[in-house]
Amino acid sequence: MSLNACAELVERGDPDRFRAVLAAPVAARGPLLVLYAFNLEVARAPWVTQEPLIAEMRLQWWRDVLANAASGAAKAHEVAGPLHDLILARGLDVAALDALVAARRWDVWKDPFEGNGLRDYLEDTGGGLAWVAAQALGADAGQKPGFLAFGRATALAGFLRAVPELESRGRQPLAGMDDAGIAHLAEHGLEWLDEARRVRLPTDARPALLSGWQSRGLLTMARKEPQRVRAGALDLPEFRKRGALLWQALTGRF
């Protein structure tokens, strides 16, 4: 069970995060690749079958992997094995990882979010991933709110980009929301980024934030031109993408 397998999965399936990993210090790359490969496998699980119950079983398999981590019983799997080792080596927040998997149940079914459902989904998926990635790089519980806020914003940026695809698959990501509502939602995302900036985050854990290198630009675009979201036109020019990643990698600012 090689780290190379995780790297290949992320490179093929999540190229933006792979670019972020390459911009990180060498020592940070291994933990990030394992966690991003895990996230990719979980995110894919609801979509590889048309049968909701089978998708639920796939998600439950990952929850069982996490539950078994505490007992020391690793599964022979190209991602589950390295994940098990990382959890034990770094004392990772298994509850946060389990919440990440559980949140993906929304992707299985076709019901709209209710109440704070979207915010909870963003926090459990993107927020949880950012927090555990930071924890793997040395962050402590006192810094968790900052990483959760950052991950929530990053997840929102990705979610807004995915709206046309989600709608084409019968989901209701923005049920009843007009362009003004989308702009308001994007404003919340920018506020979450600002919230994260106000928290003193450790230098060693900042590579966990590189995966959100496009978030501020995308959320700003969605706030100003919300019609782009449903049109599938929420994207940054390539030169801005490269510039944003380089700037964040060099300065640590987002």
CB 148 within 8 A of CB 127: yes
d(CA 190, CA 216): 7
Per residue of the chain (254 residues), give pLDDT as tens: 579 999 999 999 999 999 999 999 999 999 999 999 999 999 999 999 999 999 999 999 999 999 998 777 777 899 999 999 999 999 999 999 999 999 999 999 999 999 999 999 999 999 999 999 999 999 999 999 999 999 999 999 999 999 999 999 999 999 989 999 999 999 999 999 999 999 989 999 999 999 999 999 999 999 999 999 999 999 999 999 989 999 999 998 88
Give the per-residue pLDDT at 71. 75
Residue 91: strand, helix, or coil: coil
Residue 223: strand, helix, or coil: helix
d(CA 20, CA 122): 20
Give the per-residue pLDDT at 74. 76
Domains, the chain, in order of start with CATH, read: 3-251 (1.10.600.10)
Give the per-residue pLDDT at 1. 52
Q: Which of 31, 22, 10 is nearest to 246 (CA)?
A: 22
Give the per-residue pLDDT at 31. 98
d(CA 206, CA 217): 19
Q: Which of 162, 180, 179, 161 is nearest to 171 (CA)?
A: 162
